[in-house]
C-alpha cells in the first residue's frame, strides 16, 4: 500500500501560510486587497516549531487575516531568513491563492485603477480550451503579492471552482 492508496479525507481548509520578506508591507497589501485587517499578530521563537518545519529554529513575526472560510497567515522568518522563491505558475511546488468574486469585470477594473499589476490579460474559459464544460464562461486574472506569491481572482461559472 502507498500513501496515495490511503485516503485521509482532509476536505476542509483552515488557512494558507505565505512566507513574506516584510510583514508590515504584506499586512498593508493584504489589508487593502481584502478590506480586512489582522485578527492576530505576534512573534514566535521556538526550536521545536522550527524542527517541525525542517528548520533548526523558527524565529518569526506573523499576522493572520481572515477571509470568508479561510485564514491567510503571513509569516516573516527572522531566523533563519529564507531566499525568495520567485515562484512562477509552471514551477513544481509553486502555489497560488484564489479569491472568488461575484462581479469579475467590476473588481478587475477597480484593481487596475488602483494600480494592481496583472501578469497578463484577464481570461474567460471558452469551448475547446478547457474541460469540463462546467468551466465555460469562468473569468480569471492573475497577479502577485509584494514577494511574488501568485494570486488570482475568479468568477466561476457552473459548478467550477466552488
**Are residues 11 and 75 located together in one domain of the fold?**
yes
- Distance between CA atoms of residues 67 and 76, nearest Å: 20
The whole-angstrom separation of Cα 146 and Cα 96 is 14
Residues 7 and 42 in one domain: yes
Number of domains forming the structure of the chain: 2
Assess if residue 89 is contained within a domain.
no
Q: Residue 41 maps to which CATH number?
A: 3.10.180.10
Residue 130, pLDDT score: 72
- Same domain as 123, residue 62: no
Q: What is the pTM of this model?
A: 0.88
Q: What is the mean pLDDT of the chain?
A: 89
Residue 149 lies in a domain: yes
User: Does residue 88 lie in a domain region?
Assistant: no
Q: 51 and 13 in one domain?
A: yes
Residues 2 and 75 in one domain: yes
Note whether 69 and 27 are same-domain residues.
Answer: yes
User: Could you tell me if residue 71 is inside a domain?
Assistant: yes
Contact 95, 151 (CB under 8 A): no
Cβ contact 122:138 at 8 Å? no
CATH of the domain at 136: 3.30.720.110
Domain shared by 72 and 107, yes or no: no
Cis peptide before 132 (omega within 30 of 0): yes
Are 54 and 119 within one domain?
no
In which domain, by residue range, is 152 found?
Answer: 96-162
Residue 87 lies in a domain: no
User: Are 59 and 10 found together in one domain?
Assistant: yes
What is the spatial distance between Cα 95 and Cα 109, in angstroms, rounded to a whole number? 25
- Range with lowest mean pLDDT among 124-128, 132-136, 139-143, 147-151: 132-136
- The string of pLDDT tens digits covering residues 52-102 is 889 888 899 999 999 999 999 999 999 999 888 777 778 877 889 999 999
The residue among 20, 47, 80 that closes a domain is 80
Amino acid at each position: 500500500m502507498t500513501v496515495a492508496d490511503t485516503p485521509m479525507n482532509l476536505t476542509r481548509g483552515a488557512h494558507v501560510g505565505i512566507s513574506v520578506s516584510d510583514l508590515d508591507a504584506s499586512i498593508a497589501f493584504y489589508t487593502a486587497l481584502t478590506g480586512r485587517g489582522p485578527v492576530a499578530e505576534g512573534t514566535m521563537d521556538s526550536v521545536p516549531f522550527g524542527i517541525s518545519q525542517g528548520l533548526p529554529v523558527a524565529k518569526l513575526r506573523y499576522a493572520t487575516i481572515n477571509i470568508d472560510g479561510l485564514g491567510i497567515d503571513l509569516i516573516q522568518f527572522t531566523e533563519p531568513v529564507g531566499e525568495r522563491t520567485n515562484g512562477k505558475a509552471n514551477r513544481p511546488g509553486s502555489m497560488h491563492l484564489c479569491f472568488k468574486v461575484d462581479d469579475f469585470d467590476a473588481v478587475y477594473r477597480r484593481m487596475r485603477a488602483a494600480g494592481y499589476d496583472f501578469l497578463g490579460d484577464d481570461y474567460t474559459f471558452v469551448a475547446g480550451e478547457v474541460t469540463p464544460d462546467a468551466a465555460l464562461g469562468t473569468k480569471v486574472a492573475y497577479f502577485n503579492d509584494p514577494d511574488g506569491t501568485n494570486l488570482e481572482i475568479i468568477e466561476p461559472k457552473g459548478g467550477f471552482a466552488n
